[in-house]
Structure 1
Amino acid sequence: MERRNGARYQKAVNTLPFSQIGIVGTGKVARAFALGLQNHSSAPLMVWGRTPAKCREAVGHVAYARAVSSLSDIVNACDVVAIAVADDVIPEIVRAITEAGALSQAPARLPRQRRMRDSGA
């Protein structure tokens, strides 16, 4: 039974409709996101951090990722963005995303995805 549930999970993860994934942040949690998501993106992950040197270092730990120079690169190109920054930086990141146009360019609704229990696996 457990194996069957694992197969359902694997099927759901492998069929996500995301072609470009972005990571905001360069710390341990951001690196963990990148390592976990790198095999689920059809294009190299895009990673942005406030410090270019730390961003390059974080990308060096992930085989399928590239550093980008601005947050707007991620906002304009990515289907999904994982944000892994310190709590006190979140307002700054939200302002930067808003200024980059993320809220005005966001789709009105996400495409409907089948629930795992409905997958018939």
Structure 2
Amino acid sequence: MSFTSQMIFNITIIFITVTLIIGVILGGIALFRIAGALKLRNRMLQQATRPYLICQRNRQQLLIKNLGPVPVTIDEIESDFDLSSLNQQVIYANQSFYYNLTKPDKLAISVRYHDEIHDYQADFNL
């Protein structure tokens, strides 16, 4: 093999090696970006489909409502008012419960609830 052929062969090998290294680096960067995009999509999907349980006071009524698109199960509800009948109760999307209040005092409610994936806790001072 002549010197010129050997030089062309070496340059070709270096070019192929550099191309492979750049390809592996760009492939790795693309995989990390895809993983980041999937994590963001999962967080957004979780927030869009998570249950939002609210408690509101309307004059002499207490409203407990699930504003989320998925049903929730109330694990435990603690308050000055007797709401023990709601323990282990399933509240479907946009379903509401009303309770008449006899005392105009302040009311503190703590609710632990879950959907099929996560557990949540909410505290309300009404």
Higher helix share: 1
Structure-1-length-normalised TM-score: 0.25
Structure-2-length-normalised TM-score: 0.25
Higher strand share: 2
Q: Which has the higher contact order (CA 8 A, sep 6+)?
A: 1
